[in-house]
């Protein structure tokens, strides 16, 4: 990425490893704040530690295919119980395929 992320936040889903982590590193190197999500708390913590050496980084641990966890994280954000503040730029990094059945049950919610 050659784009500057100065003064911006980017949420990278699956940012605790692989291409997502590489993308988050580029965001932080470009002057932005990297907000990563992942399912494994230890991996998210390690990734945030590595990213924080070069700039601002935050981590969110959740299984995003679990509707209850998504609702909990959303409520936490709305209540101010967690940071950073909402003003994100979304990037999409799809490192693995998923089966349609995991997502079909949420289709009606959108």
Domain assignment of residue 105, yes or no: no
Is the per-residue pLDDT at 13 higher than 70? yes
CATH number of the CATH domain containing 36: 3.40.50.720
| pLDDT tens, residue by residue, 52-94 | 999 999 999 888 888 888 888 878 777 766 654 444 444 444 4
| pLDDT tens, residue by residue, 33-44 | 999 999 999 999
Is the per-residue pLDDT at 22 higher than 60? yes
Say if residue 8 is exposed, middle or buried (CB neighbours under 10 Å; 0-12, 13-18, 19+): middle
Q: Could you tell me the residue range of the domain that residue 38 belongs to?
A: 10-93
**Mean pLDDT, the chain, whole residue set:** 78
CA distances from 18 to 26, 34, 68, 75, 107 (A): 13, 15, 26, 29, 27
Domain assignment of residue 34, yes or no: yes
Structurally, the chain folds into a number of domains equal to: 1
Is the per-residue pLDDT at 14 higher than 60? yes
């Amino acid at each position: 990425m050659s784009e500057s992320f100065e003064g911006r936040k980017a949420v990278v889903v699956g940012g605790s490893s692989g291409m997502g982590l590489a993308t988050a590193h580029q965001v932080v190197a470009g002057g932005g704040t990297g907000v990563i999500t992942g399912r494994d708390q230890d991996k998210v913590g390690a990734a945030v530690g590595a990213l924080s050496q070069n700039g601002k980084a935050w981590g969110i641990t959740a299984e995003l295919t679990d509707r209850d966890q998504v609702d909990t994280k959303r409520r936490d954000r709305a209540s101010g119980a967690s940071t950073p503040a909402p003003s994100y730029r979304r990037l999409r990094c799809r490192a693995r395929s998923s089966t349609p059945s995991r997502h079909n049950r949420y289709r009606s919610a959108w």
